[in-house]
Every structure is written in structure tokens, then in C-alpha cells.
Amino acid sequence: MEQSWKKAKAVFAGALGPPLFWLVAFFLVPMGIVWAYSFGENRGLTEIVIDGTFQNYARVFEPLYLLIFWKSAWTAALTTLFCLILGFPVALAITFAPSKLKAWLLLLVMLPFWTNLLVRTYALIAVLRTEGYINLTLGWIWTRLTGAAFTPLELLHNNFAVVVGLVYVHLPFMVLPLYSALDRLDRSLLEASLDLGAGHLRTLFSVVVPMALPGIASGVVITFIPALGAYLTPDLLGGPESQMIANVIERQFKRANDWPFGAALSFVLMYLTFLAIAVQAVSARTRKAAEP
């Protein structure tokens, strides 16, 4: 028995070794280097001296950067809200779809992951730009109805385009956890609610939504965190007033050549991410403890 346990430990160590090495060498070590940079300062054009200063973190709390953090959090929260509003009916429809159709609907939800994000963003630009499909369609309808010239809508390079792009990119992250939670619902409770006289809307908000709270919480976290750190979408779809914190971090590393401050901004963003995950975990634990 003892010999078999030693063999099992060897097999376990052999299976764990390569991924653990990869995690340490290509994730933890680089992250540690960047974290160390956040306590340094530039000396000359290329030299960074790590002297334990907190000056970079103090700069994060300047009004300009606090405003950018707040705007990024607000944009991410708005994106999460729209994803929840749009994703819940989609997840509900997939849950109650016939078994043969359910697999195809899930495939359609996951289909965007098969296409590169850059390609999808440029496709969205083709839809939103001044000569894009939306303005061409609206112009054709307006001309037919009124006979007057149509002034194209400014749908690109603004906050509207950023939110639309983020919802477009992150909607599957909301739908899949919601579907996972809704698919485990006890449908007899829905039938009982309807039999007792509750309408469909009351059943939805009084039975379905409370039972789907774990999926909603997971979907909110999984959607909010990537949206908070989004870079490509606001960079391509947004204007000068639509930049988020990830775009500011990119400029510190590439254009301003201020790696210590860029590292401090990066880790403040990471701390906020950890805080969101911790809040979700505490909320889930509290909800589980309150269950009978």
C-alpha cells in the first residue's frame, strides 16, 4: 500500500511539473518583475532603478487617473448591465428550447470565439461608421419617407461605440454562466408557481431570477472584469474622450516610456480585479450559508 502511494505521488508530481513550471516561468516571474518595476523610477532613457518608492502608486490617486479609473469602471458596469439584460432572455430561450435545437443555439453563442477579436472589431466598424450599414439603411428609409437628405449619425469614435463594442464582445461571457444556472432549475417549481395563479412575469422574477442568482453573479464577474481591462475595443471604436485605463497603461509603456508608473497602474487594476472576485466569493458564501 505504501509503495503504491509513492508511485501515485510520482505520477502526480510528473503530471503537475510541466504546467507548474510553465505557470511560474511565464506568468509568476514576469508578473513579479512588473510588480517590482512599480516600486522603481526612471533614471535616464532606459535605466529603471527599483528603490522601493511608492511615488508611482501615489500618482495613481491624482484626479486625472482616478477619473479614468472611475470612467472605466462605469463603462464596464454599463456593459455588464446591458449584457445581463440581453443575455438573460437568450439563456432562458436556450434553456427551454428543444434538445436538438439547444446544441445549435449554444453553438451560435460560442461562434464569435472562433473569430479573432480584431476581425470582429473591424466588422463592427463597418457597421457603425458614417458610410456603414446602419447609416445606409436609415438613410434609405428616411429618404423614402420624407424625400429629404439624411444626415448620418455619429455612431463611431465615441462612448456609445465603446459600449456597443464591449457588449458585442462580452455578451457570450454572460450567456453561458446564465444558461448553466438556468439549465439546472427544478421545472416543477415553475409549474407549481403557474398552477397557484402567478403569471409568467411574476414567476420569472419571484422564482427563476432568485434561483439563477449564482449564475447571474458569475456572469457579472466574468463580464465586468474583462470589460474593465479592455484595450482593443476602446482603442479602435472610441475617441480621445473614450479611452479606458488599459489604453492609459499602454501609453505609459510604449509612448511615455514610464514603465514604473505603467506597472503601478497595471497592479492597481489587478487589485481591483481581485477585490471584485473576493466580493463575489463572499457573496456566494453568504448566500449559501443562508440557504436552509
Q: What is the CATH number of the domain that holds 190?
A: 1.10.3720.10
21 and 166, same structural domain? no
pTM (predicted TM-score) = 0.87
165 and 23, same structural domain? no
Beta carbons within 8 Å of 189's beta carbon, 6+ residues apart: 207, 211
Q: Does residue 152 come out as left (phi exceeding 0), alpha (psi in the -120 to 50 range) or beta?
A: beta
Domain annotation covers residue 39:
no
Counting the structural domains of the chain, the total is 2
State which H helix or E strand residue 40 sits in. Answer: strand 40-43
Q: By three-state DSSP, how is residue 34 classified?
A: helix
Q: Which pLDDT tens digits describe the chain residue by residue (292 residues)? A: 455 555 667 777 777 888 888 999 999 999 999 999 999 998 876 788 888 899 999 999 999 999 999 999 999 999 999 999 999 999 999 998 988 899 899 999 998 888 889 999 999 999 999 888 999 999 999 999 888 888 889 999 999 999 999 999 999 999 999 999 998 888 788 878 887 888 878 888 888 888 888 899 889 999 999 999 999 999 999 988 888 999 999 999 988 889 999 999 999 999 888 888 888 788 778 777 766 5
Quote the CA–CA distance of 243 and 126 in Å, as a whole number. Answer: 20
Domain annotation covers residue 50:
no
Asked whether the beta carbons of 268 and 58 are under 8 A apart, the reply is: no
22 and 113, same structural domain? no
Q: Does residue 230 come out as left (phi exceeding 0), alpha (psi in the -120 to 50 range) or beta?
A: beta
Domain annotation covers residue 35:
no
154 and 21, same structural domain? no
Asked whether the beta carbons of 215 and 180 are under 8 A apart, the reply is: yes
117 and 242, same structural domain? yes
Domain span at residue 223 reads 63-290
Quote the CA–CA distance of 6 and 112 in Å, as a whole number. Answer: 46
116 and 224, same structural domain? yes
